[in-house]
Amino acid sequence: MKSKIMIFINNNGAVWKIPLASALSWEIAKWAGSNHPYLAPLTVILSIQATVSKSIQFAWQRILGTIAGVLLTASIAPYIGLNGWSIGLMLLLGSAIVMLLKWDHAVMIQIAISILLVMYFQSKMPSYPIDRIRDTMIGAAVAVLIHMLILPPDSMNKAKKKMIHFADHLTNHFYNTAQWVEHGCSSSVAQTLQAELQTLFQELHQATTELEKANQSLQYNLLAQKKRKALNQVTRQMDQLRLGYANLSDMIRVLMEWSDSSSFTKEEQRIWADHLNTLAVLIKGWKKTLDDPDNSTFVPDAIALQMKTPSHLENYQYPLALYMNAEQVIQDFQ
């Protein structure tokens, strides 16, 4: 029961971090003398993002935009009054400053919101501009600290699960390619293989995205040295999967062209079907390092290690590979 609760807490940080940080930031804002303490939890709600790095980025953008918007409005608004045209003029001026300083679009949004609200509220509530700056900073600080120090989000397990699924599908695709070659390289099956490659690429992209989130989450976690070491290993494994996908994609392209040339003999088809099955077995064995990295050491099969370019083709393998890639570039840019 306790483990299920901890899993829920770990996987659903936004469910409890936003209420906790909102309540804490409200109380700190009230203690600091704010007449508008809701501005602190508002910043918390906006600042807690999927990763710590994104939370820091948004919190910084909100602080910068709020300070710039409040100072600009407080210095000019008293001289131009409050109406639709004056609001439009101030928003235009704020946008021009953002463009001139080459700030991010998110900063411009925060400046615009601050300009609009300060212009409306400062005549009715003189303390609003100061409260907005102070409470925004309180909310941003509380959000980032809680998100960073209390069970920071960790996408590494999600990334590993996606990598395991991808490795399984990559293995199956090697097997399917071997069967396609063994049965004569049918053009209809080749189209199916290409479509499956696209699906495989999307899976690879999803796994890469999760791994990037994990990297961002651990970047600001000062207590995650062990996890960083594990992440480095997972990143190397991701690189291996990318290379495996890229090489399989190239091999299918070459096999299709070889088959279309009518020079792909039955014997050569048998040889390459065996090679592709051997590569599938290789990746299947390698996947154990993903399933259980602490208790698995991967030793490639002896047959896989013997798969090398025949001696009579050694002098031609490099120029042929270059010509194949050069021809592919020409086809891609026609």
Residue 304: band (very low, low, confident or very high) from pLDDT cuts 50, 70, 90: low
User: Does pLDDT of 2 surpass 60?
Assistant: no
> Residue 43: CB partners within 8 Å, gap ≥ 6?
25, 59, 62, 135, 136, 138, 139, 140, 143
Q: Averaging pLDDT over each range in 136-140, 153-157, 278-282, which range is the top one?
A: 136-140
Residue type (1 letter), 64 = L
pLDDT of the residue at 4: 66
**Hey, is 150 helix, strand or coil?**
coil
Higher pLDDT, 313 or 12: 313
State the Rg of the chain over Cα: 29
Number of helical (H) and strand (E) elements in the chain, helices listed first: 14, 0
- Structural domain boundaries in the chain: 2-149, 156-332
What b/e readout covers 240-257, taking b as 16+ CB neighbours within 10 angstroms?
Answer: ebeebbeebbebbbebbe
pLDDT band at 9 (very low <50, low <70, confident <90, very high): low
Is the pLDDT at 230 greater than 90, yes or no?
Answer: no
Q: What is the pLDDT of residue 229?
A: 82
Out of 37-46, 252-261, 316-325, least confident range: 316-325
Q: What is the pLDDT of residue 163?
A: 92
As a whole number, the mean pLDDT across the chain is 87
Q: Distances in Å between the alpha carbon of 70 and those of 76, 115, 126?
A: 10, 6, 12
